[in-house]
Structure 1
């Protein structure tokens, strides 16, 4: 399969996703929308991944490519190709499905436990720790099944159309290097300094094994997702 990855910021990259795709024999192209690259045609790829980013998903005045990306998402949802959104990408999918997207009570930054929802279709442990980097959250779209929730965000993700479209607020793709870059160069989500769910940089990077434990979770998630692709 050939996958298109849409990147919205120089510091919110694909992380371990690229290595996983290569190891599984898939090819990919990363489109750097933040750097002026045009979003791809849906017909040119077999699946679409929307990465995270710091911008408001409706800030078309500052980021005119958002309008084109929303059209691409709408086409993907109407079609039959797998669609995965992470962070900002998940918020865009949720909004296109009619769900409310808005400011959460607290920012979530660092490592937080997620409890799988009883009706969750995700092939993941009943409890796991994932990386968080957000303040905005989304409601569960109509006809979608929930991933589960954390103390700070009750909806950490969703599966729609039998798992063909996935949205993840939490992150499985990050590595020690990618989070180090984010902490060094990316502005933290609004309200992080006062949030009980935001951890300092030293604590986030202290245990490298946390990043290693994300790898099998990412493998399970992506394998499950791509099984939804039409034969």
Structure 2
């Protein structure tokens, strides 16, 4: 098992990869950032600007959607520049790019370090919402290791519920991995721990797949129902008495 954005899982499924999403991981987490002293105050101000992104990610999908809503053509009106997430902050602070769209904690880190400003939290409306990442495995792994996968999903679900109910504990534990607590205090409002999946989530994933095809990110829409196996979260609910 590993974590993956829904966008990457959809891309893999559209290419025939035998991936299966077995539980949620997190929602939200994305932000569009500009320099603190920038004259960019709304997405339409990005015209002619250089924007850092990572192709194929959920952040890429959201960036294209932001530009579309602002009436900007990603191929003609802006300069999209591939920059690794780890290097986006430095590129912005040094003026190599005018903006970047990435996941937390990098947007909040830019704010705390004084060189960045959040321009937008670029989420969809109710048709897609704020879905972001899931835990995935393969069909063979489910066939041969169902019990182990179920144990992992159960543990993830229980830990997620505990940390959601104890935000201070969550942030303190997260800070042990090297992210300053000041950064996490800002980022927490843009992060949502998750584990559960349901038919509504799958419908949102279907809507996302449709948008990705319209944006030219995938050549065909995969069988989204087959991408999700809800049996693991259903068992996890029973395990927790939900």
Greater strand fraction, Structure 1 or Structure 2: 1
Greater helix fraction, Structure 1 or Structure 2: 2
Bigger Cα Rg: 2
Higher relative contact order (CA 8 A, sep 6+): 2
Whether TM-score is above 0.5 comes out as no
Normalised to the residue count of structure 2, the TM-score between the two structures is 0.28
Normalised to the residue count of structure 1, the TM-score between the two structures is 0.29
